[in-house]
């Protein structure tokens, strides 16, 4: 890709160590973004928020920063291949989201700084040492310790009080192991039985749903997962086919037909991740930058899906919903 010269208008930004080196080499700072999603499938609001966050930190594409996007297209193997490829290129920093892409990057042995916009449990997965002092080369934003799994199940139970047995859907490779345990604890606290179903391949989705339904599953809780997110439309269709009320990690599922979701505002997390990019380009050590957690949470409900399942959304849920699709 053609390298661009700095504009004189950026003034003091040129004093940042990485950007100063870039200027001496007649190029802007180069950042890679590695995603397990595809360009067509990712939530555009998150990408817009990332760019807005960069602008808020005086980093403007085409002027003093360049971002090259790499898409895994829902294929973990492709994500690993892309990680191996991009760490060998002349990027100053790599931004990513999700445990699997982050793990793939760390596994390359790269020394390049890594910023993760979203990871469920980086400490529990052994990706960083601690939230307060991550150590190593990676830092960013984490959802761990936010008790999201318990809150999701409580909201689902409040919406459908009759449920007694939950299908727990999770992707078994490279995702947060602690999340599944947290879901089970949350279900147990509400006296709900659980059926754990691994969604390892697309070909196995239909069998997994059918088996869970045969075992008496009455509703669906999905673990946070970049892989499941990529295949969300198929999973939502299967939930509808088997008439399973469902709760998901983010509102993009609800916009695509899922019953409800509760979780962090992902675009806000992407926007905040840009602050890490700016600090590291100024010379900060990522291992010494504390990992932050979400501060905005959203409840989304799809009334059309509720009606198709013969459900009436309780007024208490309607009143709390940040997004209510009618």
Q: Which domains, ranges and CATH numbers included, belong to the chain?
A: 8-144+265-296 (3.40.50.2300), 148-264+298-325 (3.40.50.2300)
Q: How far is 23 from 314, CA to CA, in rounded Å?
A: 58
Q: Could you tell me which residues are beta bridge partners of residue 66?
A: 30
Note the pLDDT of residue 83: 98
Please give the model's pTM, rounded to 2 decimal places. 0.86
Among 145, 155, 286, smallest CA distance to 221 is for: 155
Confidence of residue 195 (pLDDT cuts 50, 70, 90): very high
What percentage of the chain has pLDDT greater than the value 70?
90
How confident is the model at residue 221, as a pLDDT? 95
- pLDDT, mean of residues 301-319: 97
Q: Which residue has the tokens 């920093």?
A: 93
Average pLDDT over residues 191-199: 91
Q: Following DSSP, what letter does each residue of 213-252 receive, concatenated?
A: HHTT--EEEE---HHHHHTHHHHHHHHHHTT--EEESSHH
CA dihedral 311, 195, 222, 262 (to 10 degrees): 60
Confidence (pLDDT) at 11: 34
């Amino acid at each position: 890709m053609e390298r661009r010269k700095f504009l004189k208008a950026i003034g003091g930004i040129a004093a940042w160590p990485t950007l100063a080196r870039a200027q001496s080499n007649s190029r802007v700072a180069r950042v890679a973004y590695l995603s397990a999603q595809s360009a067509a499938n990712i939530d555009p609001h998150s990408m817009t928020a990332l760019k807005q966050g960069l602008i808020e930190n005086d980093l403007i594409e085409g002027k003093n920063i360049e971002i090259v996007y790499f898409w895994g297209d829902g294929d973990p193997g492709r994500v690993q291949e892309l990680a191996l490829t991009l760490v060998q290129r002349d990027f100053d920093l790599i931004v990513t989201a999700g445990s699997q892409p982050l793990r793939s990057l760390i596994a390359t042995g790269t020394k390049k700084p890594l910023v993760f916009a979203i990871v469920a449990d980086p400490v529990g997965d052994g990706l960083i040492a601690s939230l307060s002092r991550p150590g190593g080369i990676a830092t960013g934003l984490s959802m761990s310790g936010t008790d999201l799994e318990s809150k999701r199940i409580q909201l689902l139970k409040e919406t459908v009080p009759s449920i007694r047995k939950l299908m727990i859907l999770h992707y078994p490779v490279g995702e947060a192991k602690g999340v599944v345990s947290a879901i089970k604890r949350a279900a147990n606290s509400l006296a709900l039985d659980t059926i754990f179903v691994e969604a390892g391949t697309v070909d196995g989705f239909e069998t997994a749903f059918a088996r869970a339904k045969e075992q008496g599953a009455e509703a669906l809780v999905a673990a946070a997962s970049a892989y499941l997110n990529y295949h969300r439309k198929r999973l939502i269709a299967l939930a509808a086919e088997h008439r399973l009320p469902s709760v998901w990690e983010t509102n993009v599922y609800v916009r695509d037909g899922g019953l409800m979701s509760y979780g962090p505002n992902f675009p806000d997390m992407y926007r905040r991740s840009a602050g890490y990019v700016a600090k590291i380009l100024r010379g900060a050590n990522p291992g010494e930058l504390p990992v932050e957690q979400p501060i905005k949470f959203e409840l989304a409900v799809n009334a059309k899906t509720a009606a198709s399942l013969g459900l009436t959304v309780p007024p208490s849920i309607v009143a709390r919903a940040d997004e209510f699709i009618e």
